[in-house]
Amino acid sequence: MNCKKCNNEISKVDKICTKCGEKIIDKRKIMSISAVIISFILGVCTSLYSRFYQLELMPVAINEKYGYIDKEGKIVIEPQYDWAYTFSEGLAKVGINGKSGYIDKRGKIVIEPQYENALDFKEGLAIVEVNGKFGYIDKEGKIVIEPQYDDLSYFSEGLAFVDINGKWGYIDKEGKIAIEPQYDWAGEFSEGLAMVGINEKYGYIDKEGNIVIELQYDWAGEFSEGLAMVGINEKYGYIDKEGNIVIELQYDWAGEFSEGLAVVDIDGKYGYIDKEGNIVIEPQYDYAWDFSKGLAAVEKNGKSVYIDKEGKVIAEL
């Protein structure tokens, strides 16, 4: 498949486009970990980080090996890994000799590096790849659902979408099929609904597989704060859970609502709107990310900064 924004080729397991950083169909914020680490190292104050990310440990690279530092910049886990990611549900993915495993916050290996690929834990399970197939393990490293799928997603609200013979359906945490594979495309459940697509038209189903909003859009995103982005003829707006248009389809691109605001693209510049469609921060940025803890990262003319909800610059990256 290709990114709807920049047309870069991406995997359905990917959560963001590796080229432009656009969110695919994941609830997680798309602020790249590299940007977070850079801002951390450049000395943005500890209180700001505590407010912004609430992360205790951050991965850092020293002499081409990865370890972890705390909010004061002190090395807590010595650089020794080929790669390292942020902690999720108490564990972090690390790489040793080309294989992925997991450590705890003391640096103890909890699950031996053995997987071709592995992702963060979510809802108690993590996606792992074995012999080119994907499945799920628990926090003890026990295989809960055998690696058997070509593509799949994180569990969200108790269900995950999987690819079976070229069609997408949903399984529960026991690996049982909850919604039969029948869709050309599927998204994670959010606020009780999931986006699905057939013949390049998209709508929404509930957890029983009932169509709640007809498949009629050229593209659609997840529900967030009661609204979902939808697009027709390359213009994007927002609907509610009854399928009513709340904000007219008028933007060149639109993101999910976070803390009451959403990123929108107008003529190639990004700004922010509220749930009534009012422009709160004028489109002026070359790139913009979701608000988290009252702050958002933006880039303008090659300069990256954090702004507050009034558009005031709080700190430079």
- The answer, yes or no, to whether residue 271 has pLDDT greater than 60, is yes
Average pLDDT over residues 264-289: 98
Which CATH number characterizes residue 239's domain? 2.40.10
Average pLDDT over residues 192-207: 98
pTM over 0.85: no
Q: Which two tokens stand for residue 150?
A: 């070509």
Report how far apart, in Å, the C-alpha atoms of 100 and of each of 45, 222, 307 are: 32, 29, 36
189, 217, 245: which is the final residue of a domain? 217
**For the chain, percent of residues with pLDDT exceeding 70:** 83
- The answer, yes or no, to whether residue 58 has pLDDT greater than 50, is yes
Residues 40 and 104 in one domain: yes
What is residue 208's three-state secondary structure?
A: coil
Residues 65 and 133 in one domain: yes
Per-residue pLDDT of 101-160, as tens digits, reads: 999 999 999 999 999 999 999 999 999 999 999 999 999 999 999 999 999 999 999 999
Is residue 7 in a domain?
A: no
| Residue written as token pair 């709160």 | 280
- The answer, yes or no, to whether residue 25 has pLDDT greater than 90, is no
Q: What is the pLDDT of residue 72?
A: 85
Q: Residue 36 and residue 174: Cα distance in Å, rounded? A: 35
Give the domain extent around 313.
Answer: 227-317
Residues 41 and 136 in one domain: yes
pLDDT-derived band at 317, boundaries 50, 70, 90: confident
Rounded to the nearest integer, the mean pLDDT of the chain is 87
Residues 235 and 189 in one domain: no
Q: Which of 40-44, 258-262, 296-300 has the lowest mean pLDDT?
A: 40-44
Domain total of the chain: 3
Mind spelling out the 3-state secondary structure of 59-94? Answer: EEEECCEEEEECCCCCEEEEEEECEECCCECCEEEE
Residues 43 and 111 in one domain: yes
- The answer, yes or no, to whether residue 7 has pLDDT greater than 70, is no
Report how far apart, in Å, the C-alpha atoms of 278 and of each of 46, 247, 297 are: 33, 9, 20
Helix, strand, coil tally for the chain in percent (to 5): 5, 55, 40
